[in-house]
Amino acid sequence: MDRPAGLPDRIADRLLAQIESGEIAEGEVLPTESALAQSFGVSRNVVREAIARLRYDGILDSRQGRGATVLPRDARLTFRIDDSGLADEAALADLFELRGVLEIEIAGIAALRHGEGDLAELRGVLADLDAGPAFDEASLEADARFHRALAAATDNAYLKGISTYIAFRLKGTSRDTAAIYRSDDLVRRTIAEHRHILDRVAVRDPDGARDAMRQHIRQAADRLGVALREDRFSVSR
């Protein structure tokens, strides 16, 4: 299953190559987003997403007021998801299962802990999805934003961090799905699945939110032809 890399992924790979070659040294602070955008001939948003990917890959440490710093090798995360491994269906199924373990419970916790600001953010993301007739890069980003906002509603920084990392690594599978289905049909399905999750979260129904997320992940896998284990993804209600 070969998939074209998105522009932020390509920029992240170029930065990583510079880091691995020593062109950008360990402990060095990256140039500003503006400087990198000009150097690579892309927008600052693309650079920002590329840096975020490297941060969640454990390559960079980014702190307010200091910029993004290259971490020493012995301080980097040992857990990484390699895009090349996702060409294997069994590996992709395992990653979807990992996503399920995390995001199903995230949905349940969000149903219990969310505030009004969290609901407003989630509803705003759905409105952005609903505004676009095509499942393009903007829709892909809105989809990822929904899951980030849901994780943020747990009020647990670690859940938000690992969920965001996995979403970055799975972004290519969303592009694959968009290529398989008619864009307007995919948007309709995606909005319906996300709205079902939000409806259960909004009424503080943790079991319903978990089942809605379980259905969403299972359907996302089905659209790619990925077989998931029934013991994890059967619906309890």
Q: Let me know: does 186 contact 135? Beta carbons within 8 Å.
A: yes
Whole-number pLDDT of residue 189: 84
Longest dimension (CA), the chain: 55
Q: Coil, helix or strand for 81?
A: coil
Whole-number pLDDT of residue 86: 60
pLDDT tens for each residue of 173-211 = 555 555 555 555 677 888 899 999 999 999 999 999 999
pLDDT tens for each residue of 60-69 = 887 767 789 9
CA atoms within 13 A on the CB side of 183: 12
Cα–Cα distance, 111 to 210 (Å, whole number) = 9
Q: Coil, helix or strand for 154?
A: coil
Low pLDDT (below 70) residues in the chain: 1-5, 64, 74-87, 132-137, 169, 171-185, 231-237
| Domains of the chain, CATH where assigned | 7-75 (1.10.10.10), 83-233 (1.20.120.530)
Whole-number pLDDT of residue 172: 60
